[in-house]
Structure 1
Amino acid sequence: MSTDAPYRPGNRFLLATCLWLLSLATMAGGNALPTPLSTFHAEYRVTNGSIQLGTTAISLQPDTGGWHYRSITEASGLASLFVSGQAIESTRLEAHNGRLRPTVYDHSDPDKEDNVRVDFDWAARAATVRDADGVRTLNLKKDTLDGFSATLAMIQHVARGDQDVRIATIDDDGERETLVFRQAGRESISVPFGTFDTVRVERVRRGKKRETITWLAPELDWVAVRIDQRKNGDLTGRLELTGLKGEAAQSD
């Protein structure tokens, strides 16, 4: 999804913040998925540090011919006075050369003008984008992902020890974008679900005033237990793990 979404003006700000944060809240494990990914169902609360803005549920489950990765965000509390309805991102995935690659990506939210669908035709090396502006086709380069499932690839890189990660994507605006991440040490982090030793991963944006920091917990099969988004050093959004089911919750 577009990394600039949280800063769109108007009522879409709160929903875009929740949706952008949840897109990074991915996790990993074993069991019939490319190493080290696993199926899961996770729940998060989204706040600005003090006020709850909404909730998010994220899942990675088997699907016909592959896997279905989906997130559902809904505003709550004061935010629900300005935003109603659900924001949904989903990607259909297939295994390929030890990775997952997208076949269909969908992004929908209450502002239907933001809805985007991308169909990935790997045989033809083409991605068809459908949005409010119409239909267009992009050349599909090797290893290009949608911006949502790119976090699964990021976790694979981090879990195997890669310090710097670059991932080519098509974002939720149907545009090309390269996501860059770097490992930044280990920290103990407390969230409603517990306290965990984590690996800190920072999103690299050169020349930008925004920061995104993700804390992954190896003991939970690399679940993202917290994600902070900051602008000019001030916290603008925080996603924290409140519940987890599946293999990740049973790992040691």
Structure 2
Amino acid sequence: MRRRMKRLFHAIMLAAGLAFGLSTSASGELPVAPFQAHYEVYGQGLSLGEAVMSLAADGSGGYQMSSDVRPNGLVALLASASVSERASGEIRDGRIQPTRYERQMETSKKSGDVQLRFDWSAGRVEARSGTRQVTLPLSPGVVDPLSLNMVVMRDLQRDRLPKQYTLVDETALRTFQIRNEGEEVLDTSLGRLRTFRVSHSKPGNTRITTFWFAPELRYLPVRIAQHKKGKEVMRMEIRTVERQP
């Protein structure tokens, strides 16, 4: 039982590392109203909890994003874990430029955090994970884990999905290989939806994360799954989407 709960807890942590978002326009304005999306998190064949993602406009061309993953029921009692992510940035000359990113993990035994500060004028990003702190070079196109999917969905809208993206992963710059796996129709809580399936992975890593983006929902991901060595270790399914006028 203890070993099983350890695997379930690990799946919750994996869920927190998945990015969400909505596409942005070249004019620098968010083309959609603020929203909040709810996802059910599954791991090892069990429902582990809920993930809640929100997007808000912040001034002209600014954005704020958040993602919270919390376990439920017996998982919460035994694992006692939660993960929160926050990101903010701006749209400049058609580019998504994050300015801040934070991730906070809390468990019954320990806590950990990641902080990123992007300085585009100086061309650098200050990255801290726990007690480790580094300064990394910053070049156009580099983003944080949450903002990454705004870039992906914008590129899907333009039909210009590249073969790789670079992001700041804790205290390192990492390149992820992107693969467009075509269209797939899914039965979801929001109805039957046509989706584009896109996967990403790090070179040499057996872990693959796959997203199903729904054009009807402005390319909001309606399913996210993570596989390792061909076996599913975590899955998130959309439940509801709330939009503000």
TM-score of Structure 1 vs Structure 2, range by shorter chain? 0.7 to 0.9
Q: Could you tell me whether the CA contact under 8 Å between 1:36 and 1:159 is conserved in 2?
A: no
Q: Deviations over 1:194-248 (max 9, x none)?
A: 220111112144443322221111011111010111122222111110000227x
- Between 186-195 and 235-244, report the one with greater CA deviation: 186-195
Q: Could you tell me whether the CA contact under 8 Å between 1:31 and 1:38 is conserved in 2?
A: no
Q: Deviations over 1:158-190 (max 9, x none)?
A: 22112434221111x221111221211111111
Residue 194 in 1 paired to residue 187 in 2? no
User: Partners in 1 of 2:221 and 2:82 — Cα distance?
Assistant: 22
Q: Deviations over 1:34-60 (max 9, x none)?
A: 576663211100112731111011011
Residue 138 in 1 paired to residue 136 in 2? yes
Q: How does 1:75-90 map to 2 (within 5 A)?
A: 75-90=71-86
Q: How does 1:13-162 map to 2 (within 5 A)?
A: 13-21=10-18, 23=19, 25-28=20-23, 34=29, 39-48=34-43, 50-63=45-58, 66-111=62-107, 113-162=111-160
Gap runs ≥5 in structure 2:
1-5
User: Partners in 1 of 2:8 and 2:36 — Cα distance?
Assistant: 29
What SS class does the counterpart of residue 106 from structure 2 fall into?
coil
User: Partners in 2 of 1:176 and 1:38 — Cα distance?
Assistant: 32
Deviation >6 Å, runs of 4+:
29-32
- Name which of 168, 176, 179 aligns with 2:176: 179
What SS class does the counterpart of residue 145 from structure 1 fall into?
coil
Q: Could you tell me whether the CA contact under 8 Å between 2:8 and 2:48 is conserved in 1?
A: no
Q: Deviations over 1:11-69 (max 9, x none)?
A: 75133122123x2x333377975576663211100112731111011011022572111
Residue identity in the other structure for 1:126: R
- Between 58-67 and 147-156, report the one with greater CA deviation: 58-67
What SS class does the counterpart of residue 123 from structure 1 fall into?
coil
Q: Could you tell me whether the CA contact under 8 Å between 1:52 and 1:77 is conserved in 2?
A: no
Percent identity between the aligned chains? 26
Residue identity in the other structure for 2:101: Y
Residue identity in the other structure for 1:218: P
What SS class does the counterpart of residue 144 from structure 1 fall into?
coil
1:121, distance to aligned residue in structure 2 (A): 0.9
Residue identity in the other structure for 2:79: V
* Aligned Cα root-mean-square deviation (Å): 2.6
TM-score (norm 1): 0.83
TM-score (norm 2): 0.85
- Between 197-206 and 153-162, report the one with greater CA deviation: 197-206
What SS class does the counterpart of residue 98 from structure 2 fall into?
strand
Q: Call closer, same or farther: CA 1:30–1:79 in 2, change over 3 Å.
A: farther
Q: Call closer, same or farther: CA 1:159–1:36 in 2, change over 3 Å.
A: farther
